[in-house]
Amino acid sequence: MESPDSASPAAFTGTRLNKIYRTGETEVHALRDVDLSIPQGEVLVLLGPSGSGKSTLLNILGGLDRPTSGNLSWFDHDLVAADEAALTRFRRAHVGFIFQFYNLIPSLTAEENVRLVTDIAESPMPPGEALERVGLADRRNHYPAQLSGGEQQRVAVARAIAKRPAVLLCDEPTGALDSRTGVRVLETLASANRELATTVVIITHNAGIAAMAHRVFHFLDGRIARIVRNERPVDPAGITW
């Protein structure tokens, strides 16, 4: 896998991002003065101990939550100043989410689950194409209960990529899967990056997965403690855990 042009513009730019959760008397400082730049078209892996702020950052990048202070932009769109309606438009148009548990609707087939998104997207790919991209064209009429965990997650990837989002935000996408099925899910993310130029952000506890990234952010206690650039990301097929 080639590294995207180093002159790629930043998709996300954040400066002095802080997030403080307040619950009654208790305050949790989840992000502490985080500065970041995420180039368009890269695969970025977020590693770090539990509670170090990875999901908090992912949710803020995806417009699901807001920082307590700091600046964040998506190209020239200010995501901090955006009102709720603008954040919703941003998510709908540009962001695909993938979570550890697939969140498919059990009473709908694989294709119908993907269609839920394509019916409301602006210029989606046909649901059949999305399922083909994740290697599940022949399972389009199967219900989630008839699919393995890895296959269900690939349907979730098809659903996320069908609207051709500019960015895929993945929170522990292989967390519930064994290594072999997890790799097949990672391959679908890598091919979305390669073939659709999607910027892909992956939270994981598996340090091995960092090998497929162009860039790795190591989180510690609400900060990005270290950024590692990977000149030669590997194909996920070469990763095991």
Q: Does residue 28 bind ligand ATP (CB under 6 A)? A: yes
Q: Does residue 14 bind ligand ATP (CB under 6 A)? A: no
Looking at 21-29, 69-77, 128-136, 157-165, which segment touches ligand ATP (CB under 6 A)? 21-29
Closer Cβ to ligand ATP, 27 or 78, answer by number: 27
Measured between alpha carbons, how far is residue 112 from residues 42, 79, 164 in Å? 30, 32, 17
Q: How far apart are the first and last CA of the chain?
A: 20
Closer Cβ to ligand ATP, 225 or 237, answer by number: 225
Give me the residue label for tokens 């995420």. 38
CA atoms within 13 A on the CB side of 224: 23
Q: Does residue 101 bind ligand ATP (CB under 6 A)? A: no
Q: Is 236 exposed, middle or buried (0-12, 13-18, 19+ CB in 10 A)?
A: buried
Q: Does residue 199 bind ligand ATP (CB under 6 A)? A: no
Secondary structure class of 72 (helix, strand, coil): strand
| DSSP-assigned beta bridge partners for residue 44 | 201, 215
Q: Does residue 39 bind ligand ATP (CB under 6 A)? A: no
- To the nearest whole angstrom, how small is the minimum distance from the Cβ of residue 52 to ligand ATP? 4
Name which of residues 46 to 75 contact ligand ATP (CB under 6 A). 48, 50-56
- To the nearest whole angstrom, how small is the minimum distance from the Cβ of residue 22 to ligand ATP? 8
Give the C-alpha separation, 155 to 217, whole Å: 27
Q: Is 169 exposed, middle or buried (0-12, 13-18, 19+ CB in 10 A)?
A: buried
Judged by CB under 6 A, how many residues of this single chain contact ligand ATP?
A: 13
Joined together, the tokens standing for residue 95 give 């962001």
Q: Does residue 25 bind ligand ATP (CB under 6 A)? A: no
Q: Does residue 9 bind ligand ATP (CB under 6 A)? A: no
Closer Cβ to ligand ATP, 55 or 198, answer by number: 55
Closer Cβ to ligand ATP, 61 or 131, answer by number: 61
Q: Does residue 21 bind ligand ATP (CB under 6 A)? A: yes
Pairing of strands 199-203, 43-47: parallel
- To the nearest whole angstrom, how small is the minimum distance from the Cβ of residue 55 to ligand ATP? 3
Joined together, the tokens standing for residue 121 give 């997207």
Please report, as ranges, the residues that interact with ligand ATP according to CB under 6 A: 21, 23, 28, 30, 48, 50-56, 219
